[in-house]
Each structure stands twice: as structure tokens, then as C-alpha cells.
Amino acid sequence: MVNLLYCEFLKLKRSKMFLISFLGALVTPLLMFVNHVGTHFRRPGVVFNMASFYDDTLLFTMLLIGPIVYAVVVAYLFSREYTENTLKTILTVPVKKQTFIISKFVMLFVWILFLSLISWMSISILAVLFHTMFGLTEVGIGIAFNYLGRIMIGGSFMFFLMTPFAFLAIWSKNFVVPLISSAVVMTLNMLLMNTSFNAIYPWTAPMHFVLSNELLEQSSYPYPIMIGSIALISVLGFVLSIAYFQREDVS
């Protein structure tokens, strides 16, 4: 397992995908900064607090940018061995298929948490910059570290919700199907955002656990059902990925 992870890191080091995903993690913080600056000039009387920067970043990362960026990462990790015709070479060494695919999931988890950390660092810097230029209320390092935990938890949720895309990448052996599926998920996220179903739809349910917005925390569904919907889709994607890869003949 350790050797497989080391190989994944070496391949990542030589790939442009790391830079692409890194830039993708910066998109939402930059958009939120530009949005807050624009709002300040349009409505000078509006006063922002530091938490709003983190809340908005979390919201749009989990609803819009995250599914696309992380789906690209998943498609790269799980389909590159097919597109680059390296799978047969890898499996000639004494490594179990199950161990191989699990190492991919571990790499995905580490990658998503790293991108989450980058997102937190960038929004923290931009929040301080905004405070220096225009002023924020309720600024403090305690708020920043509180949201570090929320953002890392949000990244963990996103990892669990990426397992179905991993299966689609293995099944289709290309980038197209996972990316189209992530676009569908993103569209449904926006459609269900302001409905009561956002609490049980797996890709919007995590908002109830990581955002501080009281309106989002109010739900007619108990938390076990919300967690259950996330767990169901996650386990399904994980099991299907391993089972399909185990049974597939490598040609």
C-alpha cells in the first residue's frame, strides 16, 4: 500500500493535474472576494463579518465548484491507467487489485483534504485583505481555525460523495462520463438548494453539518437520515468500484 501511494505521488508530481486542481481550489475564494468587493461598492452601507467569507466559500465549493474540480481529480486518478495503457504493467507486479484500488481512494482523500486546506488558507488571506481595505466585523483567529475544521469536514464529505464518480471512471475508462455526471449533480444541487429535500439529497445534505447559517441548519429531517443518505451513496460507489475492478479482465 505504501509503495502504491508513493507511486501515485510520483505520478502526480510529474502531472499538470496537480496545478489544475490547485487553481481550481482557488476559484471559489477569489470569486467570493470579488463578490464582496463588488457588493461593498454597490451598497457601501452593508457590513460583512469574517464568517460570511467562509460560509460563502463553503457553500459554493460544495454546491458548484467542488463537484466539478473533484470529479476531474477522480477521473484522472481512476481512469489514467486505462487512457495511458499502464494498468497491465502495474498489475504484473505482485499487488492485489483490491489493494490497488483502495490506494487510489486513499490518494483521493489526501488530495481533497489538501485542496480544502488550500481553500481555507486562500480565503483567510483574502478575508484579512478585505478587512484591511474595507473593514470586517467579528474578525479573529479563533473564527479562522473554527472554519478550518468545518472546511476539512466538508472536504471529507466531498470525498465520500466522490466514490460514485470513481466507479463511473473505472466503468467508462475515460474522463467524459464522470464529468457529465458531476455537471448533473451540480445542476440538481442548485435546483434543490432552497427546498426541504436538500437535507436528504446526498450532495446537499453536508451543508447542514458544516455551515453556520441557521436557515440551513433547520430541517424537518432528523440527522441520522441525512447522514444515512450520504453513507448510502458513498458505500454504494465504493463497493461497486472495488467489485467491478476485481471482476474486470485487464486487456
Domain ranges of the chain: 10-246
Which pLDDT score, from 0 to 100, does residue 91 have?
Answer: 61
> Which uninterrupted H or E stretch holds 44?
none
Q: Cα(212)–Cα(51) distance, rounded to whole angstroms?
A: 8
Among the residue ranges 52-61, 109-118, 204-213, 230-239, the one predicted with the least confidence is: 204-213
Which pLDDT score, from 0 to 100, does residue 162 have?
Answer: 95
> Which uninterrupted H or E stretch holds 197?
none
pLDDT one-digit tens code per residue, 100-155:
888 899 999 999 999 999 999 999 999 999 988 888 888 888 889 999 999 999 99
* CA–CA distances in Å: residue 4 to residues 105, 128, 206: 11, 40, 31
- Compute the residue count for the chain: 251
Q: What is the mean pLDDT of residues 18-47?
A: 88
Instruction: Identify whether the C-beta of residue 50 lies closer than 8 Å to the C-beta of residue 140.
Output: yes
Count, in order, helices (H) and strands (E) of the chain. 12, 0
Cell of 188: 440538481
Which pLDDT score, from 0 to 100, does residue 74 have?
Answer: 93
The reply to whether the predicted model has a pTM over 0.85 is: yes
87 vs 206, residue with greater confidence: 206
- pLDDT higher than 90, residue 19: no
Q: What is the mean pLDDT of residues 42-47?
A: 82
Q: Cα(71)–Cα(111) distance, rounded to whole angstroms?
A: 12
